[in-house]
Amino acid sequence: MGQCIYCGKPAGFLKKKHKKCEQQHEKGKSEIISLVGKIGAAGGDLHQLERSIERVASMSFIDKNTLKSLLVSGWERAVNIAFDDGLLSEKEESALIELKEHFALPEEILDKNGAYSKLEKGAVLRDIMNGTLPERIKIDVSLPFNFQKTEKVVWVFQGVNYYEEKTRTRYVGGSQGFSIRIAKGLYYRTGAFKGERVQTSETVYADTGLLGITNKHIYFAGSVKRFRIAYNKIVTFEPFSDGIGIQRDAQTVRPQLFETGDGWFTYNLIRNLAQL
């Protein structure tokens, strides 16, 4: 007779668990995540939260390790809830930090899915939207940029893929599109004019490097490409899920794309700095 992995009592021939115990276990897990998620950004009595959680855990056969990971999931949910209604407020930020400290949740574990970074990013955006330059960033790489005297670094993205948009023109359908040389000119056979001109634009990978964001410029430094772009030279900003595209105020410059891995933050950061 096997024993139930949850309650430890006999589970029946060739069985490892009671269906009921398993259901209770799963229900308890989601209840804990939801309890933590709810109080997370709103704030509240954390001692009472802890007692409720312990009660649910003991009723639902949840061990200490599982509980720890449920607290992390709950904290991540709380971050999402905090951003649901727009930007992270100061009150939400401190409630989340308090929750993190109450349960001694380590930053690197909270950041496994990027939730802790999101909190920092939210705070940076809030500063900028309030018209102040954030003082919070710690840069752990040496920067290859030549900043101007009054310029301030706001954020540095590492390992950014840089792409340039190229427009290619080709002709489809005109099979006889060859030219022949006649006298000094080039003569195109009629077939060349039957084809349709098709313009395709494609993004071409150009380099990978650091993307430095200041209050005045975007800097890029890769192994082959290095440049800086002033905000007042940018006419279009295009948001992508994983980055941003910009178009400069010059006909000769093609759209430029930066893949930072976080389009939401990159776009909000750059757009708002450009307006400061």
Return residues touching Zn ion (CB under 5 A): 4, 6-7, 18, 21
* HEC per residue, 94-128: HHHHHHHHHCCCCHHHHCCCCHHHHHHHHHHHHHH
Q: Smaller CB distance to Zn ion: residue 7 or 123? A: 7
Distance in Å, CB of 52 to Zn ion, minimum: 23
CB of 67 to Zn ion, least distance (A): 19
CB distance 240 to 247 below 8 Å: no
| Rounded Cα–Cα distance for residues 121 and 118 (Å) | 5
By beta-carbon proximity to Zn ion, the closer residue of 24 and 161 is 24
**Coil/strand/helix, residue 241:** coil
Considering the complex, what minimum distance in angstroms separates the CB of residue 31 from Zn ion?
18
Decide whether 6 or 220 has the Cβ nearer to Zn ion: 6
User: Which residue's CB is nearer to Zn ion, number 15 or number 112?
Assistant: 15
What's the min distance (Å) between Cβ of 1 and Zn ion?
A: 13
Cβ contacts of 207 within 8 Å, gap of 6 or more: 161, 162, 220, 222, 223, 224, 225
Cβ neighbours around 65 below 10 Å, total:
8
Tell me whether residue 21 or residue 246 sits nearer to Zn ion (CB atom).
21
Closest distance to Zn ion from the beta carbon of 21 (Å): 3
φ/ψ (deg, to 5) at 43 = 85, 160
For the chain, the distance separating the N- and C-terminal CA atoms, rounded to the nearest angstrom, is 71
Task: Report the half-sphere exposure of 161 (CA within 13 A, side-chain side).
Answer: 10
Instruction: Give the shortest CB-6-to-Zn ion separation in angstroms.
Output: 5
**Based on CB atoms, which residue is closest to Zn ion, 8 or 159?**
8
Rg (CA), the chain: 28
Closest distance of CB 9 from Zn ion, Å: 6
Our CB check for Zn ion shows the closer of 15 and 189 to be 15
Residues with Cβ < 8 Å from 126, sequence gap 6 or more?
87, 88, 89, 90
User: Could you give the 3-state DSSP secondary structure of residue 254?
Assistant: coil
CB of 89 to Zn ion, least distance (A): 44
Longest dimension (CA), the chain: 99
Taking the least distance from each CB to Zn ion, the nearer of 21 and 257 is 21
